[in-house]
């Protein structure tokens, strides 16, 4: 079946640096991908909808300059956490849609020191 991968699975960085997370749809083309954030023992909060070839649509309260999303191809969306701070530490999950099915990546654990 369809698979969505994320890279890296885990990243530790210093405060003030930027981190890029990749989300790939492995055997289908996804014009729309989604980025979620999950705090420990909490639910998934939708951050933004990533549209291939156009600007991402951010949910209310999400800083678009802080969380840069690029969807340059039909199989790849990237989330860059710019000038990361400890409060950005979280579990980031991407999702890709293939017609009437949504597939979720395994997630990326970001720890900012």
Partner 1 sequence: AQSVTQPDIHITVSEGASLELRCNYSYGATPYLFWYVQSPGQGLQLLLKYFSGDTLVQGIKGFEAEFKRSQSSFNLRKPSVHWSDAAEYFCAVGSPYSSASKIIFGSGTRLSIRP
Binding site for partner 1 (CB under 8 A): 32, 34, 36, 41-46, 49, 51, 57, 93, 95, 97, 100, 102, 104-107
CB of 106 to partner 1, least distance (A): 4
DSSP string of the chain, one letter each residue: ---EEEE-SEEEE-TT--EEEEEEESSS--SEEEEEEE-TTS-EEEEEEEETTS--EEPTT--TTTEEEEEEETTEEEEEE-S--GGG-EEEEEEEEETTEEEE---EEEEE-
CB of 58 to partner 1, least distance (A): 12
CB of 111 to partner 1, least distance (A): 15
């Amino acid at each position: 079946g369809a698979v969505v991968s994320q890279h890296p699975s885990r990243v530790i960085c210093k405060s003030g640096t930027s981190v890029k997370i990749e989300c790939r749809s492995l055997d289908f083309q996804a014009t729309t991908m989604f980025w979620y954030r999950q705090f420990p023992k909490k639910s998934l909060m939708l951050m933004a909808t990533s549209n291939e070839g156009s600007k991402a649509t951010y949910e209310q309260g999400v800083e678009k300059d802080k969380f840069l999303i690029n969807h340059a191809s039909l199989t790849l969306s990237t989330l860059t956490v710019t000038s990361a701070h400890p409060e950005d530490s979280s579990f980031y999950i991407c999702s890709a849609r293939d017609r009437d099915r949504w597939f979720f990546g395994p997630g990326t654990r970001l720890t900012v020191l």
